[in-house]
Amino acid sequence: MSWSRDEMAAKAAEEIEDGFYVNLGIGIPTLVANHIPADRDLILQSENGMLGMGPFPFEGEADPDLINAGKQTITELDRTSYFSSSTSFAMIRGGHIDLAILGTMEVAQNGDIANWMIPGKLVKGMGGGMDLVAGAKRVVVITDHVTKSGAPKLLKQCTLPLTGQGVVKRIITDLGIFDVKGEGLAVAEIAPGVSREQIQKATDAALLAWPDKELA
């Protein structure tokens, strides 16, 4: 047992507070938009020049001109505004984004993140990753706990080229939620049906603490 990607996205949505300006990265983070409570007042920002993104459209209702930074079709809201990417990056670099929820290839126990390049493989490019980890007030990572081959993604030290150093504060995976403590990770929550042994086996990073109350 473990959390599905939608359940992981729902956990990430709990990180968002009223009044927040939030940027959702490519991949699993885009699902977060579908799990934001209706009574939560916040604004989603996309680095391709959109402020006030709505959820994904229903089948047959997509507008091909409305896309997020990952080129997925999205919807607009009554308060949506559009602008150039230069203005969008000025918002990010100016420290106006309260929370960035990003995917990753690797994340280290000291908060380093590597989410943009695998040497020798074709990648789409940097995107806004470096700007977001440097400019956002808080960075949360949402990712599968291991790679497709079963290798840990939560490491003592990243092996891929870094996007940012010491920037990640919380990691949400299909196995649990982990807080970065500098010299290791504190396990804040364990997914239902997941054991400590399963997490320890799938994690290369040092685990410093476990939750007082674990889910059955």
Q: Which residues are catalytic?
A: 47
HSE-CB at 111 with a 13 A cutoff on CA atoms is 17
185 forms bridges with which residues in the sheet?
180, 207
Q: Which segments of the chain does DSSP mark as H helices, in order?
A: 5-13, 85-93, 129-135, 196-202
Distance CA 183, CA 167 (A): 14
Of 44, 36, 46, whose CA–CA distance to 15 is shortest?
Answer: 36
Q: Please name which of 99, 48, 44, 98 lies closest in space to residue 76, comparing C-alpha atoms.
A: 44
